[in-house]
Structure 1
Amino acid sequence: MASHTITGSRQSPPAHPRPVRAEGDPLVPRMLLGRRLHDLREAAGLSRRDAARTIDGSESKITRLELGQAAAKPGDVSRLLARYGADAAERTTLLALAEQTNARAWWHGDGDIVARWVRQYLSAEQAAKLVRTFEAQFVPGLLQTEDYARALIRRDHPEAEVERRVGFRLRRQRVLRRRPRPLNLWIVLDEAALWRPTGSPETMRGQIRHIVELCRRPNVTVQIAPFGISGRIAGDGPLTLVRFPQQSLQDMVYLERPDKAVYPVRRVEIERHWHVFNTLVTEAAPPEQTPQILAGILATY
């Protein structure tokens, strides 16, 4: 079973974040750099407008930079650090991070089939320490079999793209076997998703058996929630929470909606969504009952 620590609390960030490797994706370097630039700016008593003037930019540029939503020019970062009074050690660390913010994301080669609004989450998923997800409509992507994914993708995409999209989805799942520390995944799945046929009965049987197998892994936990729990507790759609290994980074909230996604960043919003997920955990059947519940559903297919 996965860790039962699913609280949203974090420890205080270190004063000098350690340099990290980009590992082919710029998201974590951008977030680490942005967080520290924000802290340094506030410690210096400067506004975003003051910072923007330092680099002849806009306040929105500073906001995007501090939220980790944009690549950073080392020259801009150097000027900001000088204005903020950063010491030599921190300048070295943050300028190295600035270089890494321009790396290509791991999904770059498939960018033409990856919607813009999901790209930030896909990068976060591969860099995460843990992911917590609630899904009401379908089996989440990290749990899907090849046949289930193919049947689902065929509903919305042309046949010429199907196999490529299936392959991309299966590559995402490698994070569950990542060494030395695989992703810690905890899913709360509305029972309705398993009663909603996707593909043939054989496809559904294979998918249910696959979830049973995944539950045997120490880093994967799946709970089955009763029908209708989404409208009563989880609001209007799927909920995903991401926590990073770097303690200075705040958790990510990913709310997938039709043709878009929402990424709340205010601390109060993040804490509220952790509370929602924790409530779902208490309302769902305990993890040790999942194999028995799945066996009952499997018998109907």
Structure 2
Amino acid sequence: MSAARPGHEPSIRRFLEHPQGGPTVLRIVLGTQLRKLREANGVSAKAAADVIRGSHAKISRLELGRVGFKERDVADLLTLYNVTDEDERADFLTLARRAAEPGWWHQYNDILPPWFETHLGLEEAASVIRSYENQFVPGLLQTEGYARAVTTLGHPRASGAEIERRVRLRMTRQQLLDRPGAPRLWAVLDEASLRRPLGGAPVMRQQLRHLIEVSRMPNVVLQIAPFSIGGVSAAGGPITILRFLEPDLPDIVYLEQLTSALYLDKPEDLDNYLAVMDRLCAEADPPSATVPFLEKLLAELT
């Protein structure tokens, strides 16, 4: 009798029928399901690594969804884990193939660091995106002119053509807020991010008008943390928390740095950052005050 294992996992079938998030999320789901099978069958990571002619580190990266699977490796692992049902094996192999396909952002891989590709894939699959920004308007809410000013500031040696490609990437990324089943975006903006005149007054006027418009979208909540409240809970910098409906995807805290990013998913980290985000929302002005605040700033620029 073979060792006990989970049945034909519904999440595999669900992702095949209703794919979300592109290859990044598919790799995580596939890795999680294979880890569950390995543990259910009492197979060590070393034994699994030996079967695919790899190392313990490779199995760890695969199970965490950090890298893609070869179909041959998936087939060998399924055999090791006593998965003999042909339909079940076929679903796993189909998921492996889809996880290896490039995401829409692949066309920008000459300007995209791998750590940000991961963020784009997770963002695509999120059901809720919570963020706090203290320097800039969030990328998902930037106008083209504002995005161009931010990009030029961050990449002073980039050519005009590269700047435009980076701006186009950001505009394409924003389409997820308008699609069917769009995520809910809840953003807290520090007043400083709205008073810094990036690109000059005309660009900022357009950006403020855009924020007024998007604040009325049913899936967008905007709050402003005004100077009048003094210090804020997130003194360390911007925070993004991604939440997912899929049980195989834990909530993830994304902390972007100058040349890299941190992805935190340990329960203690999540609890701390969720508490910070909740305090930020409590400290900031309520959503009902956002449009009047933005209109006041807009009047000051006119």
TM-score norm. by structure 2 comes to 0.88
Output the amino acid matched with 2:142. Q
C-alpha separation between the residues in 2 aligned to 1:230 and 1:74?
Answer: 55
User: Relative contact order (alpha carbons < 8 A, sep ≥ 6): 1 or 2 greater?
Assistant: 1
Q: Does 1:69 align with 2:66?
A: yes
C-alpha RMSD over aligned residues: 2.1
How do 1:171-190 residues align onto structure 2 when only pairs under 5 Å count?
171-178=172-179, 180-190=180-190
Report the 3-state secondary structure (helix = DSSP H, G, I; strand = E; otherwise coil) of the residue aligned with 2:279. helix
Q: Does 1:16 align with 2:10?
A: yes
Answer whether contact 2:188 2:224 (CA < 8 A) is retained. yes
Q: Does 1:199 align with 2:199?
A: yes
C-alpha separation between the residues in 1 aligned to 2:228 and 2:242?
Answer: 24
Output the amino acid matched with 2:23. P
Q: How far off is 1:169 after superposition? A: 0.9
Q: Deviations over 1:227-272 (max 9, x none)?
A: 4989742242211111234232112221101111011132322232
C-alpha separation between the residues in 2 aligned to 1:228 and 1:117?
Answer: 36
Answer whether contact 1:16 1:90 (CA < 8 A) is retained. no
Answer whether contact 1:264 1:270 (CA < 8 A) is retained. yes
Q: How far off is 1:130 after superposition? A: 2.0
Q: Could you say if the C-alpha distance between residues 55 and 31 of structure 1 is closer, same or farther in structure 2, counting changes exceeding 3 Å?
A: same
Q: Could you say if the C-alpha distance between residues 107 and 231 of structure 1 is closer, same or farther in structure 2, counting changes exceeding 3 Å?
A: farther
Answer whether contact 2:232 2:280 (CA < 8 A) is retained. no
Report the 3-state secondary structure (helix = DSSP H, G, I; strand = E; otherwise coil) of the residue aligned with 1:155. helix
Q: Tell me the matched-pair count.
A: 287
Choose from 56, 60, 77 the match for 2:57: 60
Answer whether contact 1:41 1:47 (CA < 8 A) is retained. yes
Answer whether contact 1:24 1:103 (CA < 8 A) is retained. no
Structure 1's consecutive aligned runs of 4 or more residues displaced over 6 angstroms after TM superposition are: 228-231
Q: Which residue of 2 aligns with 1:277?
A: 277
Q: Does 1:168 align with 2:172?
A: no
Q: How far off is 1:87 after superposition? A: 5.1
Q: Does 1:234 align with 2:234?
A: yes
Q: Could you say if the C-alpha distance between residues 283 and 23 of structure 1 is closer, same or farther in structure 2, counting changes exceeding 3 Å?
A: closer
Q: How far off is 1:168 after superposition? A: 1.4
Q: Does 1:152 align with 2:122?
A: no
Q: Which residue of 2 aligns with 1:118?
A: 116
C-alpha separation between the residues in 1 aligned to 2:224 and 2:83?
Answer: 50
TM-score norm. by structure 1 comes to 0.88
Q: Does 1:298 align with 2:292?
A: no
Answer whether contact 1:212 1:291 (CA < 8 A) is retained. yes
Which region of structure 1 is more displaced relative to structure 2, 82-91 or 119-128? 82-91
Q: Which residue of 1 aligns with 2:3?
A: none
Identity of aligned residues (%): 44
Answer whether contact 1:106 1:123 (CA < 8 A) is retained. no
Q: Deviations over 1:125-156 (max 9, x none)?
A: 22322211111100011110111111111223
